Amino acid sequence: SQELEQSPQSLIVQEGKNLTINCTSSKTLYGLYWYKQKYGEGLIFLMMLQKGGEEKSHEKITAKLDEKKQQSSLHITASQPSHAGIYLCGAGNYGGSQGNLIFGKGTKLSVKP
Amino acid sequence: GAVVSQHPSWVICKSGTSVKIECRSLDFQATTMFWYRQFPKQSLMLMATSNEGSKATYEQGVEKDKFLINHASLTLSTLTVTSAHPEDSSFYICSAGGAGVNEQYFGPGTRLTVT
């Protein structure tokens, strides 16, 4: 079965610093999703990447997909306290985008003001 | 964007009782909904796939007789935890993706505590 490994598991950064979170899949990726979650709350959709080499940005968050490496990275520029939370990567379990998702264990981000 | 709601947002019940959790797609029709469970400090794990008008598909290790799923309409799926036990205490999240939707939309989750 496919597994997603996220690194690091947790991260504490000073406000204003940049950071990167990685997500590596044990199998070929059919769509890679990034979500943000505050513990005990629902998931907030950030971005979806489908093609190798694809890169998307939303405000100060950029995500890239390296299909060959079966890996995606999430980069936050000039972090703010509002970026704090748990970041989850999810991958489509089938060839399309309508299947269920499997998730990594998450990266807990804390931003010190 | 598409909105998925869950009700209740939290519930406390006594051991042995049953609890029903609703998942609704508010502004789109969802032929498929997914139910996930998240234990403290762990990731989301898929429990079952709910298909409108047919039986749900359960993941290995998930008891179908304990976690009853009903997807009676294109906008509503329900998860009933029967004869709940303290080990069923968890955060339950549903997601929905209809035809033409490229990403799944997640509900806000339901926190279940069984005493």
Tell me, what's the pLDDT at A3? Answer: 86
Instruction: Please report, for residues A19, B56, B77, B112, the alpha-carbon distance to residue A35 in angstroms, rounded to integers and kept in the order given.
Output: 16, 25, 23, 22
The whole-number average pLDDT for the span A1-18 is: 93
How much is the mean pLDDT over chain A?
A: 87
CA–CA dist B11, B9 (Å, integer) = 7
The whole-number average pLDDT for the span B76-103 is: 85
How much is the mean pLDDT over chain B?
A: 89
Cβ pair B107:A40 closer than 8 A: no
Closest CA to B112 of B80, B79, B88: B88
- Among the partner-chain residues B93, B103, B111, the one whose CB lies closest to the CB of A33 is B103
CB of B67 less than 8 A from some CB of A: no
Tell me, what's the pLDDT at B10? Answer: 93
The whole-number average pLDDT for the span A20-34 is: 88
Tell me, what's the pLDDT at A93? Answer: 64
The whole-number average pLDDT for the span B9-38 is: 92
Length of chain B measured in residues = 115
DSSP line for B38-101 = E-TTS-EEEEEEEETTS--EEPTT--TTTEEEEEEETTEEEEEE-S--GGG-EEEEEEEE-TT-
pLDDT at B100 over 70: no
Cβ pair B34:A97 closer than 8 A: no
Tell me, what's the pLDDT at B98? Answer: 58
- Residue, of B76 and B41, whose pLDDT is higher: B76
DSSP letter at A96 equals S
Q: Kindly indicate the confidence band of residue A53, based on its pLDDT and cuts at 50, 70 and 90.
A: confident
Tell me, what's the pLDDT at A94? Answer: 56
Q: Is residue B11 classed exposed, middle or buried when 0-12, 13-18 and 19+ CB atoms within 10 A define those classes?
A: middle
3-state secondary structure of A81: helix
The whole-number average pLDDT for the span A75-90 is: 95
CB of B109 less than 8 A from some CB of A: yes
Q: Kindly indicate the confidence band of residue B30, based on its pLDDT and cuts at 50, 70 and 90.
A: confident
